[in-house]
Amino acid sequence: MTYRIAVVGGDGIGPEVTSVALDVVRAAGVDIDTRDFDLGGARYLRDGEILSDATLDELRGFDAILLGAVGTPEVPPGVIERGLLLKMRFELDLYVNQRPFVTTSGDGGGHDFVVIRENTEGPYVGEGGALRRGTPYEVATQGSVNTRMGVERCIRYAFELAQTRERTHLTLVHKTNVLTFAGDLWQRTFDEVAAEFPHVDTAYNHVDAACIYFVQDPQRYDVIVTDNLFGDILTDLGGAVSGGIGLASSANLNPARTGPSMFEPVHGSAPDIVGTGTANPTAAILSAALMLDFLGESAAGDRIRAACADPVTGSTTHVGDTIAARVAG
Ligand code: IPM
Ligand code: MN
């Protein structure tokens, strides 16, 4: 089987790390037919295209999308993020953002948990507005949208995942003591779905407490489910306590499979190191492994993860070549 992969290298170090990740996929013996899409801040500056509906429709025809990073300092914040990345997440209904965090250490001090971040709602929907901007009477509002359907499908995915893991444990993270409306919807939905999964043990943590546990006791976690913004912030922290953001991978999933899912490293475009050949491609490689899992090639995904378990340092190509050689065995 040959998989059709749309490649959005994007800006900064994005193209450098995606090309290495694709080499590793090929080294794993998986047949891919790739097509590059020139999208991101640089493209926008050149001809104004961010992500047209026609391009989006083309992307729908692929089995998966591999994305490097988007965003460039010359474009104001939000333009590319909202117009490209969030547009893909929303329009392709990539409602689960799955981010695994694994460390191993000889003394048994490693951890292995995965954050399931809701990826199409919350404060990311862009509800709100500004009034009297730039005056002393300025007002800005930014709403958070939480629908029963959106919350429930994300929570159900997290329970289904927890059920397949050894520890079968799921923690809801929110801020129910302050965000009482959204928190009530999340907690009630969580409790109702939990009744369908009697073999999954559950817990609840406020997001501020979860930050302490991420640093001091990450071993307590197996699967975590949380809203879009909490998940964004927590997964940077997850990367920081799991070997650094250079290793953090993510899958933007449409579990209903009504279209392609999208896979990207958690890190950004890192314009400060672009072209130096020093970007760590491991996060992109591990994101490609998540892509293979979702395409039904988890044996190849496992081989790639095994090849990344013993970290490689050095230049982008050195890391890529070393991991590719390990994968090819
Ligand atoms: C991420 C990123 C994005 C997000 C940005 C670039 C819009 O930080 O994937 O975590 O906030 O979701
Ligand atoms: Mn983020």
Mean pLDDT of 261-282: 96
pLDDT of residue 109: 78
Look at ligand 1, atom 10, and give the residue with the nearest C-alpha.
232
Share of the chain above pLDDT 70, in %: 99
Ligand 1: distance of its center to the CA of 10 in Å?
A: 14
Mean pLDDT of 200-215: 98
Amino acid at residue number 36: D
* Ligand 1 atom closest to Cα of residue 81: 7
Active site annotation includes 222: no
Ligand 1: distance of its center to the CA of 107 in Å?
A: 34
Measured CA to CA, the distance from residue 40 to residue 69 in angstroms comes to: 8
Question: Catalytic residue among 11, 222, 232, 293, which?
Answer: 232
* Ligand 1 atom closest to Cα of residue 70: 6
pLDDT of residue 329: 85
Q: Which of 85, 98, 120, 121 to mutate to test the pocket of ligand 1 (most atoms within 8 A of CB)?
A: 85
Number of alpha carbons in the 13 Å side-chain half-sphere of residue 312: 24
Mean pLDDT of 61-79: 95
pLDDT at position 107 over 80: no
Q: Which among 220, 266, 247, 252 has a CA at the least distance from the CA of 305?
A: 247
Place of tokens 């048994």: 108
CB 41 within 8 A of CB 74: yes
pLDDT of residue 105: 75
Active site annotation includes 232: yes
The string of pLDDT tens digits covering residues 209-239 is 999 999 999 999 999 999 999 999 999 999 9
Number of alpha carbons in the 13 Å side-chain half-sphere of residue 102: 12
The string of pLDDT tens digits covering residues 117-138 is 999 999 999 999 999 999 999 9
Burial environment of residue 38 by CB neighbours within 10 A (0 to 12, 13 to 18, 19 or more):
middle
Question: Catalytic residue among 175, 221, 222, 293, which?
Answer: 175
What lines the ligand 1 site, CB under 6 Å?
81, 85, 232, 266
Q: Which among 43, 13, 70 has a CA at the least distance from the CA of 271?
A: 13
pLDDT band (50, 70, 90) for residue 268: very high
Mean pLDDT of 105-127: 92
pLDDT at position 20 over 70: yes
CB 324 within 8 A of CB 256: no
Active site annotation includes 38: no
Average pLDDT value for the chain:
97
- 53-62, 108-117, 136-145: the lowest-pLDDT one: 108-117
- 69-78, 93-102, 227-236, 285-294: the lowest-pLDDT one: 69-78
pLDDT band (50, 70, 90) for residue 106: low
Domains located in the chain, CATH noted: 1-94+254-329 (3.40.718.10), 103-113+122-244 (3.40.718.10)
The string of pLDDT tens digits covering residues 149-198 is 999 999 999 999 999 999 999 999 999 999 999 999 999 999 999 999 99
Measured CA to CA, the distance from residue 229 to residue 217 in angstroms comes to: 22
The string of pLDDT tens digits covering residues 34-55 is 999 999 999 999 999 999 999 9
**Distant-in-sequence, close-in-space partners of 191: CB < 8 Å, separation ≥ 6:** none
**Distant-in-sequence, close-in-space partners of 71: CB < 8 Å, separation ≥ 6:** 10, 11, 12, 40, 41, 80, 81, 268, 269
Active site annotation includes 208: yes
* Ligand 1 atom closest to Cα of residue 97: 9
Measured CA to CA, the distance from residue 294 to residue 304 in angstroms comes to: 14
